[in-house]
């Protein structure tokens, strides 16, 4: 039997095992349907007490044996205690969540959603097709694991989703007596303040963004049974806790259980992205402006071996290039010609031996040669003047309050002629990969995980479970269209948009950058859309 055959065979075995538990959960439905809301809450409280009592008993007995264990070994030993305890109450907990959802949201978990939830509880990745209701799937496993009383985190990719999903699912948790916290950072949805909140159905904020979300201290949000937030905010709060001078300043509890939404994006695409907390350093910012005036006039070359191979004048051109950029690695390297140019322009000798000067040069070369306006960053007025806002390369969203380190942000400010603020130095840093491996149990959900399964298993010890769809898929997934040239691709995109628009169908166009969005948009003027649609309508009549 081949590798892929074994892979799918194992998946089918797991799904078949889950279906047997689904039957137990379905059998409990008649038991909970007649109960009042108060009785459902009391039943949940009983499960909570049962779980925590048994866990405390077994943990106390096992802990003396953990002497000399590493943190990772302690997490693994702890999980071997609490997972079997939670497994015993899983059918009842899932049935309670399903009943609460029916009463509060008018939505009953499908059997396949229950299967997806069990895979999440087991510390797997649930691959579920778009439209299968991942938001609802997470409610049962996160409540089950919250019964331990050690916190459970739902991780989203942006503040809008964490707030939306928390308020949407809040009534379920509230009915069952579970508290819900919301962690927010700076974003277009939350404004510059960000904040932290507790779900409260009786609280009515005049700002519609915070309906049923009562402001609270950061620690209060983390002390809730369940907390919703973004990967960025969880990571930064972890770093801030590690910099705290007193235990009273800590906001997070132990990292117990997390469900990561769009797990392939966060744990694979952004895995090596560093979260950095910096502190300002007093300095003379005029040096950045001075360096920018010189670097902006230097000649740039692109690191591409094909350029040298196809051009007979490559040696002559290379001798005239002052610095070379590697667009993929986002680096800029000064050449010998560039060193000579800098020394002449600045009136100095042996500039490469001046480490401080080379620091300014390196930052300015990257700012001018690698980082592009409306792709890597935007210039936005904050009410007090223009400032540089970083664009998240994975989501295209603006990252308010974030700054590049190592002088790069100051160099970009000099390039764009905005106020140059003091340079920062790194105080604490961690990657998403290292942060999420600190959780005792980790799981995730997405629509596309099977292709990354080897990486998930190798780095995070996570298996992927492909969850069946509730109904047969009628959508047709067509093969990708590949173009040799970008201009041809843009023409193809424009033609397809116009074709669909003529049928009065809405079209969502996703791009990787603000610049590309604007390029596509410029090709789609209202006049052009009207003209093409008129031609199409006329053709149909003829």
Q: Is the pLDDT of residue 529 over 70?
A: no
The dihedral region occupied by 151, where left means phi > 0, alpha psi between -120 and 50, and beta the remainder, is left
Query: pLDDT value at position 48?
Result: 98
Q: Report the percent of the chain where pLDDT is more than 70.
A: 90
Q: What is the residue-averaged pLDDT of the chain?
A: 88
Query: pLDDT value at position 71?
Result: 92
| pLDDT tens sequence across 282-294 | 666 788 999 999 9
Asked whether 377 and 499 are in contact (CB, 8 A), the reply is no
Q: Is the pLDDT of residue 314 over 60?
A: no
Least confident of 202-211, 238-247, 344-353, 433-442: 202-211
| pLDDT tens sequence across 249-264 | 999 999 999 999 999 9
Mean pLDDT of 122-126: 96
Query: pLDDT value at position 320?
Result: 80
Query: pLDDT value at position 8?
Result: 58
Asked whether 215 and 143 are in contact (CB, 8 A), the reply is no
Q: Report the percent of the chain where pLDDT is more than 90.
A: 63
Euclidean distance between CA atoms 209 and 220, whole angstroms: 20
Euclidean distance between CA atoms 168 and 500, whole angstroms: 33
Q: Is the pLDDT of residue 39 over 60?
A: yes
Beginning with the edge strand found earlier in the chain, give each strand of the sheet holding 213-215 in spatial order: 213-215, 195-199, 180-184, 226-230, 152-156, 257-261, 441-446, 125-127, 464-466
Closest CA to 466 of 110, 136, 114, 12: 12
Mean pLDDT of 439-448: 94
Query: pLDDT value at position 193?
Result: 56
- Pick the more confident residue, 221 or 383: 221
Query: pLDDT value at position 542?
Result: 42
Domains in the chain (CATH in brackets) are: 3-275+432-466 (3.40.50.300), 283-421 (3.90.1440.10), 486-541 (no CATH)
Query: pLDDT value at position 412?
Result: 96
Q: How sure is the predictor about 316, in pLDDT bands with cuts at 50, 70 and 90? A: low
């Amino acid at each position: 039997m081949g590798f892929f055959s074994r892979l799918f065979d194992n998946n089918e075995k797991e799904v078949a095992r889950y279906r047997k538990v689904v039957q137990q959960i379905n059998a409990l439905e008649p038991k909970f349907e007649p109960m009042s809301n108060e009785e459902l809450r009391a039943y949940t409280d009983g499960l909570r007490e049962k779980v925590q009592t048994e866990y405390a008993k077994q943990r106390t007995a096992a802990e003396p044996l953990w002497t000399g264990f590493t943190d990772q070994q302690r997490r693994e030993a702890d999980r071997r205690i609490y997972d079997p305890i939670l497994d015993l109450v899983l059918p009842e907990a899932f049935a309670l969540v399903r009943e609460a959802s029916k009463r509060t949201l008018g939505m009953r978990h499908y059997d396949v959603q229950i299967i997806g939830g069990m895979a999440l509880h087991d510390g797997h990745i649930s691959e579920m097709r778009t439209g299968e209701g991942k938001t609802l799937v997470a409610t049962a496993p996160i409540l089950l694991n919250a019964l331990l009383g050690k916190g459970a985190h739902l991780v989203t990719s942006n503040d809008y989703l964490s707030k939306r999903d928390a308020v949407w699912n809040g009534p379920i948790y509230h009915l069952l007596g579970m508290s819900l916290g919301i962690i927010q950072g700076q974003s277009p949805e939350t404004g510059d303040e960000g904040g932290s909140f507790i779900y409260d159905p009786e609280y009515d904020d005049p700002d519609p963004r915070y309906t049923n979300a009562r402001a609270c201290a950061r620690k209060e949000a983390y002390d809730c049974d369940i907390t919703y937030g973004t990967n960025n905010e969880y990571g930064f709060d972890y770093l801030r806790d590690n910099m705290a001078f007193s235990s009273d300043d800590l906001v997070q509890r132990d990292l117990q259980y997390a469900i990561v939404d769009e797990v392939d994006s966060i744990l694979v695409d952004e895995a090596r992205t560093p979260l950095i907390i910096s502190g300002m350093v007093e300095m003379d910012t005029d040096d950045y402006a001075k360096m920018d005036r010189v670097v902006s006039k230097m000649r740039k070359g692109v690191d591409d071996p094909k350029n040298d191979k196809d051009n007979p004048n490559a040696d002559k051109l290379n001798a005239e290039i002052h610095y070379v950029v590697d667009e993929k690695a986002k680096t800029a390297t000064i050449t010998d010609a560039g060193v000579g140019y800098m020394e002449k322009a600045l009136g100095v000798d042996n500039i490469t031996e001046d480490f401080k000067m080379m620091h300014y040069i390196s930052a300015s070369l990257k700012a001018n040669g690698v980082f592009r306006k409306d792709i890597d960053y935007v210039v936005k007025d904050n009410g007090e003047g223009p400032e540089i806002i970083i664009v998240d390369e994975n989501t295209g969203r603006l990252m308010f309050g974030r700054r590049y380190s190592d002088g790069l942000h100051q160099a970009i400010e000099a390039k764009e002629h905005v106020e140059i603020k003091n340079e920062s130095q790194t105080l604490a840093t961690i990657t998403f990969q290292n942060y999420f491996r600190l959780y005792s149990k980790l799981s995730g959900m997405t629509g596309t995980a099977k292709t990354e399964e080897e990486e998930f298993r190798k780095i995070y010890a996570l298996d992927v479970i492909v969850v069946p769809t509730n109904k047969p898929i009628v959508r047709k997934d067509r093969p990708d269209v590949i173009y040799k040239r970008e201009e041809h691709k843009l023409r193809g995109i424009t033609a397809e948009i116009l074709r669909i628009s003529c049928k009065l169908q809405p079209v969502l166009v996703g791009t990787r950058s603000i610049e590309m969005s604007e390029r596509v948009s410029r090709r789609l003027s209202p006049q052009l859309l009207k003209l093409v649609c008129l031609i199409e309508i006329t053709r149909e009549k003829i």
